[in-house]
Amino acid sequence: MYRITEKKILNPTVVEMQIEAPPVAKKALPGQFIILRTDENSERIPLTVAGTDKENGTVKIIFQVVGATTTALSFKEKGDYIEDFAGPLGIASKLDELKKVCIIGGGVGCAIAMPIAEALHNSGAEVTSIIGFRNKDLLILEDEFRSFSDKLHIMTDDGSYERQGNVTVPLKEMLEKGEKFDEIITIGPLIMMKFVTETARPYGVPVTVSMNPIMIDGTGMCGGCRLTLNVDGKRVTKFACVDGPDFNGYEVDFDEAMSRSRMYSDFERHAYEETCNLYKKEVN
């Protein structure tokens, strides 16, 4: 059992928690993830490590309330326990040789991008961050990104905060002006990562994307997180949990990944509604 030591509501759909898990806190690196179960009979879900406090033995997770398990997790409070918290899993982001990087986060993907920006900043790299949200009310982690970025661009779809538009707008502007980056690291919705990759393609800048499909065991055995990559003219199957979550954006078959991500949407919606109704009954 793992104790929740802190809980913070970041916006109407996004929650931050600190989980007491010393073995995970000791080893976790930016880009890695954990798999948790809220209760004994819950499903397993992957969540990226959003930060660690090795001294206190805690791990930060940030999640969006979108399905049954994240809904159940959101109802837990400081001092409550979750059943399982396994990790760290996946391959840590490769950041050592990067000196000038553009970090691009979309929505709750910013929770994954932020510790990478922090690690790069602390290593002395020049960090330009672009973060995007549908509107001002959904903005998260602005202060953290300002602390870890030499330049920060904030975009909102409706123009309710900072600039209106999507994250590719300032990226294209910088690339057109001749801005050079060792790498672009983008994390967020699949469609966003696809268009970031296509925006960068004519300029030949390496693009790393973080793929977070459905996972069950986190060891590559179930095959639920499989992805198709186009490598040197050949289609290759990889597993996000053991081969990733970071991949070369130019190799990822985004269309297939988006199609697979929609396969269980009806089931997830039904499970979400059942969980919400259950907790409403318990509260009443």
DSSP per-residue letters across 9-72: EEETTEEEEEEE-HHHHHH--TT-EEEEESSTTPPPEEEEEEEEETTTTEEEEEEE--SHHHHH
Query: Model confidence over 249-271: pLDDT tens digits?
Result: 999 999 988 887 776 655 555 54
- Helix axis angle, 190-200 relative to 168-176, nearest 10°? 10
Say if residue 180's pLDDT is above 90.
Answer: yes
Delimiting residues of CATH 3.40.50.80 domain(s) in the chain: 93-203
Delimiting residues of CATH 2.40.30.10 domain(s) in the chain: 2-89
For the chain, counts of helices (H) and of strands (E): 9, 16
Written out in words, the top-level CATH class of the domain with range 93-203 is alpha beta
Say if residue 171's pLDDT is above 70.
Answer: yes
Q: In this structure, what are the phi and psi dihedrals at residue 173, rounded to the nearest 5 degrees?
A: -60, -45
* pLDDT for residue 26: 95
**What band does 224 get if pLDDT is binned at 50, 70 and 90?**
confident
* pLDDT for residue 69: 87
User: What separation in angstroms does the CA of 48 have from each of 6, 129, 235, 241?
Assistant: 17, 19, 27, 11
Q: In this structure, what are the phi and psi dihedrals at residue 207, rounded to the nearest 5 degrees?
A: -125, 125
* pLDDT for residue 107: 92
Q: What is the mean pLDDT of the chain?
A: 89
Residue 63 tokens read as 């999640």
CATH 3.40.50.2000 fits 2-89, yes or no: no
Q: What is the mean pLDDT of residues 62-90?
A: 92
Q: What is the mean pLDDT of residues 76-90?
A: 94
Task: Bin 229: left if φ > 0, else alpha if -120 < ψ < 50, else beta.
Answer: beta
Residue 10 tokens read as 């970041």
* pLDDT for residue 283: 47
* pLDDT for residue 221: 77
* pLDDT for residue 284: 46
Per-residue HEC secondary structure of 94-116 comes to: CCCCCCEEEEEEEHHHHHHHHHH
* pLDDT for residue 269: 57
Lookup result for tokens 């510790």: 115
Residue 261 neighbours by CB distance under 10 Å: 14
Query: Model confidence over 6-30: pLDDT tens digits?
Result: 999 999 899 999 999 999 999 999 9
Q: In this structure, what are the phi and psi dihedrals at residue 197, rounded to the nearest 5 degrees?
A: -60, -45
* pLDDT for residue 219: 73
